[in-house]
Structure 1
Amino acid sequence: MAYTRKNVNKLTRTERRRLVEAFLELKRRGEYDEFVRMHIEYYVSDGEGGLRTAHMAPTFLPWHRRFLLDLERALRRVDSSVSVPYWDWTRDRTPSAALWGDDLLGGNGRRSDHQVTTGPFAYRHKKWVVKESVTDGAYLMRDFGRPKDPVALPTADDLAEALKDPVYDSAPWNSTSEDGFRNKLEGWGRGSGGVVWRNHNRVHRWVGGHMLGGASVNDPVFWLHHSFVDLQWSRWQKRHRGARYLPEAPPGPRDRQYRRVVARHERMPPWDVTPDELEDHSGIYRYV
């Protein structure tokens, strides 16, 4: 039977405690850092050569759906009552939102070094030590709103703009794709400054600290953010009945994206699964 993923604001006190304890246990076992390493490895930009699956590609959504499922399954091996809640960043837009409380994710980093000093993931507890990163420092970092170069969380209108596009993705199937739901949700734009980042990308930049770049999995909020992103894919599918993952067929040998993106029925590394097989999650989980 399918289990549920809730809005983080709907979690009971017991559910919050059990979620945190499951995260900390995965960290203690060393399993959590494997997820960090995987995301760093597969964070390949479209300026690099080779196959892209996690970002700047059509597989952004199915890749993170499977990634999130793997983490959720690991959490549920610790505590079968746990699932990953979602953070609706169009509504919970301030540092005082419930998810940043001392009984859940803790709050912002301190001004001097962005170190998170509150909540269960604070370094002082020695239960959440950063071991896999692209920067130095063993403590979790955040920099809400990036005060030195301010950025705001996406609005409901920003998200609606992505959801109304009836096409899943479009050529050239990367960060420069101007049409298609995938990139409008993932959020790569042109130009400079905070306006370039949209939806998913802007959330990463608003949280700041470890949420910037490939090592973003070090912050547990990564999963709550991607649970909400995954929910948007589900909503888009319901709104545009019959719309499917694209490209349906792989780009040809003369295409610049030849062997650089995954088509609907091709295997999506690092798993033996296709985007087509991940389009329907209704038999596994549902959102409430």
Structure 2
Amino acid sequence: MHSRKNQRDLTRTEKKRLVDAILELKRSGRYDDFVTLHRQYYVTDTERRPRPAHMTPSFFPWHRRYLLEFEKALRAVDPRVTLPYWDWTRDDTASASLWAEDFLGGNGRPGDRQVMTGPFAYRRGNWRIRAGVTDDPFLRRDFGRPSAPVTLPGAADVDRALKDPVYDAEPWNSVSTTGFRNRIEGWGIRGARGVANHNRVHRWIGGSMAGAASPDDPVFWLHHAFIDLLWTRWQKAHPRSPYLPARALPAHDPQRDRIFASDQPMPPWDVAPSQLMDHTRFYRYV
């Protein structure tokens, strides 16, 4: 079993190994396969088809398996690499260590928001966006979105979500007003609350992170490793609270064939949420 560390605790060598492994996946074409997969399963709750990844109770287990597959690909390149996590409640500025020249690079430049620094800058020749939502071949970031400012979530935002003792609630989608899942996934609900936590981080980074092809920005993996860690913290705080829904919804429920109950296998891996409840079979957080 391997360990996932806070990105701020990585050594210079660990950062370089991770960056090199990501660049090798990009060079081989495997990285873009992961981006395409995320786009494929970014199904909204207005679509009348199964949605395992977003606006759904299986948001956490689906992304856990997705990260495990990516981490496995990284470790096939370099077995010493593991995914770090980014605690955006603490490292919450554009000068935080993860945005350094030797790691993820920084904000996009004014105008086209092109990232000009770090190993994933297009001008370095190693990072061409192929599956993005725009035709731009370069990585884009727009920290804080100055045109309509947004801030990163704080510890109080996370604590509020962690205190909810119920995993998820009807109608099992983006407008579930209670439940840990949507409090962390963070869909804004008119008249109830604004965009929060997970979604607000995507919005704060902006650019390539703002759409269904968000894994085009390597920070996606560090962000979602922290989301995964928050799920483990919630489980620890509420050991008697199960994944919901526990069983397939009744035939008359409009969500019946669109969301995944505890033992219903999720595509594309044919693995059920119940099989992904315990992360300690795979890794630990330090």
Partner in structure 1 of residue 82 of structure 2: 83
- Pairwise CA distance, 1:6: 0.2
Q: 1:229-244 residue pairs with structure 2 within 5 A?
A: 229-244=227-242
Partner in structure 2 of residue 121 of structure 1: 120
Give distance in 1, aligned partners of 2:163 and 2:68: 26
Name the count of aligned residue pairs: 285
Give distance in 2, aligned partners of 1:250 and 1:151: 38
Q: 2:220 corresponds to which letter in structure 1?
A: F
Give distance in 2, aligned partners of 1:273 and 1:191: 34
Give TM-score scaled by structure 2 length. Answer: 0.98
Partner in structure 1 of residue 61 of structure 2: 62
Give distance in 1, aligned partners of 2:189 and 2:282: 37
Partner in structure 1 of residue 15 of structure 2: 16
Give distance in 1, aligned partners of 2:194 and 2:44: 16
Deviations along 1:180-227, one digit per CA (max 9) or x if unpaired, are 1000000012239xx621000000000000101101010000000000
Partner in structure 1 of residue 251 of structure 2: 253
Q: 1:125 corresponds to which letter in structure 2?
A: R
- Pairwise CA distance, 1:112: 1.1
Q: 1:37-56 residue pairs with structure 2 within 5 A?
A: 37-56=36-55
Give distance in 1, aligned partners of 2:150 and 2:124: 30
Q: 1:139 corresponds to which letter in structure 2?
A: F
Give distance in 1, aligned partners of 2:161 and 2:63: 18
Structure 2 stretches lacking a partner, 5+ long: none
Give TM-score scaled by structure 1 length. Answer: 0.98
Partner in structure 2 of residue 280 of structure 1: 278
Give distance in 2, aligned partners of 1:248 and 1:191: 28
Partner in structure 2 of residue 214 of structure 1: 212
Give distance in 2, aligned partners of 1:137 and 1:189: 29
Give distance in 1, aligned partners of 2:181 and 2:212: 19
Q: Does residue 131 of structure 2 align to residue 135 of structure 1?
A: no
- Pairwise CA distance, 1:256: 1.3
CA contact under 8 A between 2:176 and 2:182: conserved in structure 1?
yes
Q: Does residue 178 of structure 2 align to residue 179 of structure 1?
A: yes
Q: 2:225 aligns with which of 224, 227, 231?
A: 227
CA contact under 8 A between 2:32 and 2:130: conserved in structure 1?
yes
Superposed structure 1 runs of 4+ greater than 3 Å apart: none
Partner in structure 1 of residue 106 of structure 2: 107
Give distance in 2, aligned partners of 1:170 and 1:191: 17
Seq. identity, %: 59
Give distance in 1, aligned partners of 2:190 and 2:239: 33
- Pairwise CA distance, 1:45: 0.6
Q: 1:273 corresponds to which letter in structure 2?
A: V
Higher alpha-carbon deviation: 251-260 or 85-94: 251-260
Give distance in 1, aligned partners of 2:254 and 2:88: 35
CA contact under 8 A between 2:177 and 2:189: conserved in structure 1?
no
Give distance in 2, aligned partners of 1:202 and 1:245: 24
Give distance in 1, aligned partners of 2:78 and 2:51: 33
Secondary structure at the aligned position of 2:3 is classed as: strand
- Pairwise CA distance, 1:284: 1.1
Structure 1 stretches lacking a partner, 5+ long: none
